[in-house]
Amino acid sequence: MTQPPPRQRILVVDDDVDIARFVEMNLRMEGFDVVVAHDGIAALEEVAERRPDLVLLDVAMPRLDGVEVTKRLRADAMTSAIPVIMLTAKGLTVDKVVGLTAGADDYIVKPFDTLELVARVQTTLRRNREFREVSPLTGLPGNARIQQEIADRLRSGADFAVCHVDIDGFKAVNDVYGFGRGDEFIATLARKLHRAVVAAGLPPVFLGHIGGDDFVVVCAPEQVRPLTERAVREFEDEADTLYDAEDRARGYLRVKSRQNNELHDVGLVTVSIGVALSAQRDYTDPREVIAVANEMKTVAKNQPGSFVAYDRRKTKQEPGTGSPRRSGPV
């Protein structure tokens, strides 16, 4: 039996017992797990013990005020990512600026509307969750956001395509040049995919980073070919410049085997793309679509050069196969 997801925990900190109780009751009614503290020292103790998902923090409190609590949370690596919303009875701009400068994510001026309070809590939690999932290398959203995008497209009923994009020969780059150079290849592919996504226009195209050298593009079926052609062409052109001059001129890397230290040749990087089309099957779960796109990416990897492999099972209309690349078709 599937267990329900754990409730998100909110720490409410206010020296006014009545206000703290009022906020606690309203957040509990919205399904949150709520912990209460009445001063800054107690708040830090609760954070250390309970590790809340968000802190709702009054500014003016005894022992330690909200600004100082926020500064201490931000100074500790273990708590620096916890979002903070400040509650203040003052509406002056300078007080808001002080709170935000200390590291608060948002602020609410008392007296506040209950609906606004709940909305700001939910928005801050969602924004924080999406921020944590963003790749620090590419700035692109990760797996949870990718699945959400596909789920939204499934619910919309409109036809769409999911493209799983992967760099061929990437392991050899890491083995020969190290992870730093490998990151340059990943960042380059991210930039070229982003340029192609922007150029694709409407309907909007989604771009996500699964991790490593794997990316996902969610777009309309007719956008797949022009988008992948542009991204692959521009990536291959710039990727060539990332190699040492000798390797670039030679057209391959000499890689030492980990098993017997023998050298073998690995060609310059290309791109494999697997495409799942929503119109081909009765998909009900984003993971099913991703699995098919990943399966087709494996098919693409078995072809020479850069290649786009479409899921042709139950195909109503034959998709295009693309144009030549360094060693083969896309």
Q: Give yes or no for residue 143 having a pLDDT over 50.
A: yes
pLDDT given for residue 222 in this prediction: 96
pLDDT tens, position by position, 238-263? 999 999 999 999 998 988 776 667 78
Distance CA(103)–CA(68), nearest Å, equals 10
Helix/strand/coil percent split, the chain, to 5 = 45, 20, 35
Give the mean pLDDT of 204-226: 95
Q: Percent of the chain scored above 70 by pLDDT?
A: 89
The region of weakest confidence among 44-53, 132-141, 170-179 is: 132-141
How large a percentage of the chain has pLDDT more than 90?
A: 63
Element (H, E) at 99: helix 93-102
User: What is the model's pLDDT at position 184?
Assistant: 96
Question: What topology does CATH give the domain 9-133?
Answer: Rossmann fold (3.40.50)
- Nearest-CA neighbor of 11 among 29, 30, 38? 38
The mean pLDDT value for 157-181 works out to 95
**Which of the listed CATH numbers 3.30.2130.10, 3.30.70.270, 3.50.50.60, 3.30.830.10 matches domain 143-310?**
3.30.70.270
The whole-chain average pLDDT of the chain stands at 87
What pTM, to 2 d.p., does this model score? 0.66
| pLDDT tens-digit map of 62-112 | 888 898 999 999 888 678 889 999 988 766 556 666 767 778 888 888 888
* Placement of tokens 């990718």 in the chain: 146
Q: Domain residues of the chain, as ranges?
A: 9-133, 143-310
Quote the tokens at residue 316: 């109503």
pLDDT attached to residue 92: 57
Predicted confidence at residue 119, as pLDDT, reads 93
Give pLDDT, residue 223: 97
Measure CA of the first residue to CA of the last residue in the chain; give whole Å: 44
Residue 231 has pLDDT above 50, yes or no: yes
Triad 196, 193, 280: Cα angle to 5°? 85
